[in-house]
Amino acid sequence: MFDRNIFLVGMPGSGKSSLGKKTAANLRLPYVDMDKRIQDIMGMTIVEMFAQYGEDSFRVAETNLLMQITREPTAVISTGGGSVMNPQNVKIMKANGLIIFIDRPLEQILGDIKLDRRPNLAAKGLSEVEKVYYERIDTYRAIADITLDNSNGYYAGVAALERIIRLRFGLYAI
């Protein structure tokens, strides 16, 4: 039925994790939150990893995890917001799945992002979120196979993501 992974990419606060988890459950697919999996493997938060080992080490762990995930059963995978900035990660995702960009307007992200969970953004505040958004937005758009507009709330986002996946994989909504 599902022969390729579904990689969700987008800004921190775009809805990758919340939409991905619910949609995977609805479709009876495994769900992987890459940031959470890395935290579980390392036994520390991402903030602690950045502080102790630096961002470069975290990014290596991210790439290694992507390679590992591609050997596991097909899943809905929420990637870290910065994972797409590594061309190797993009190649891995392109070769092993469908990339869906969860596109949420910057104003909505700024309105409810929890900075304490975002190590790259926490210290510098909302202005850093805006800066990162403009640094990454073109990459998200360029690598995506499909873009999902997540500006209409959680339930609309889940419904749209499920519909996209069902149509792409030849399944029809019930």
pLDDT on residue 111? 80
H-helix or E-strand containing 94? helix 87-96
Structure tokens at 151: 């500006």
As a whole number of angstroms, the distance between CA 127 and CA 61 comes to 27
Torsion of CA 8, 14, 17, 20, to 10 degrees: -50
pLDDT on residue 61? 94
8 contacts 78 by C-beta, under 8 angstroms = yes
154 contacts 19 by C-beta, under 8 angstroms = yes
What's the CATH number for 5-168? 3.40.50.300
Burial (CB count within 10 angstroms: exposed 0-12, middle 13-18, buried 19+), residue 72: exposed
As a whole number of angstroms, the distance between CA 100 and CA 148 comes to 7
pLDDT on residue 167? 93
pLDDT tens, residue by residue, 105-121: 998 888 876 655 555 55
pLDDT tens, residue by residue, 56-101: 999 999 999 999 999 999 999 999 999 999 999 999 999 999 999 9
171-to-2, 14, 49, 84, 128 alpha-carbon distances in Å: 9, 26, 40, 28, 40
State the pLDDT confidence band at 4, using cuts at 50, 70 and 90: very high
Question: Beta partners for 32?
Answer: 77
Q: How far is CA 11 from its chain centroid? A: 8
pLDDT > 90? residue 2: no
pLDDT tens, residue by residue, 13-51: 899 999 999 999 999 999 999 999 999 999 998 888 988
Q: Where are the domains of the chain?
A: 5-168
What does DSSP assign to residue 124?
Answer: T
